[in-house]
Amino acid sequence: MIVAALLLVLAAALLAVRCARAANCQEQLRTVVETVQSGLVIRDRGQRLLVVDDEQAVNEVTHQVLVRAGYDVTSAIGGDGALRLVAGQSFDLVLLDVNMPAPDGWQTLHGLLKEDPRQRVLMVSGHALDEEACRRGARGLLLKPFDAQMLTDAVEGALAGA
CATH number at residue 116: 3.40.50.2300
35 lies in some domain: no
| pTM of the predicted structure, to 2 decimals | 0.73
9 lies in some domain: no
1 lies in some domain: no
Question: What proportion of the chain, given as a percentage, has pLDDT over 70?
Answer: 73
Which domain covers residue 134, as residue numbers? 41-160
140 lies in some domain: yes
pLDDT at 128 over 60: yes
Instruction: Kindly give, in sequence order, each residue whose CB lies less than 8 Å from that of residue 31, ignoring residues fewer than 6 positions away.
Output: none
Helix pair 56-68, 2-18: axis angle to 10 deg: 170
76 lies in some domain: yes
pLDDT at 66 over 80: yes
29 lies in some domain: no
User: How confident is the model at residue 4, as a pLDDT?
Assistant: 45
Instruction: Kindly give, in sequence order, each residue whose CB lies less than 8 Å from that of residue 67, ignoring residues fewer than 6 positions away.
Output: 41, 73
- The half-sphere exposure of 70 on its side-chain side, counting CA atoms within 13 A, is 10
Number of domains, the chain: 1
| Chain centroid, CA 103 distance in Å | 17
108 lies in some domain: yes
Instruction: Tell me the longest C-alpha to C-alpha distance in the chain.
Output: 42
User: How confident is the model at residue 72, as a pLDDT?
Assistant: 96
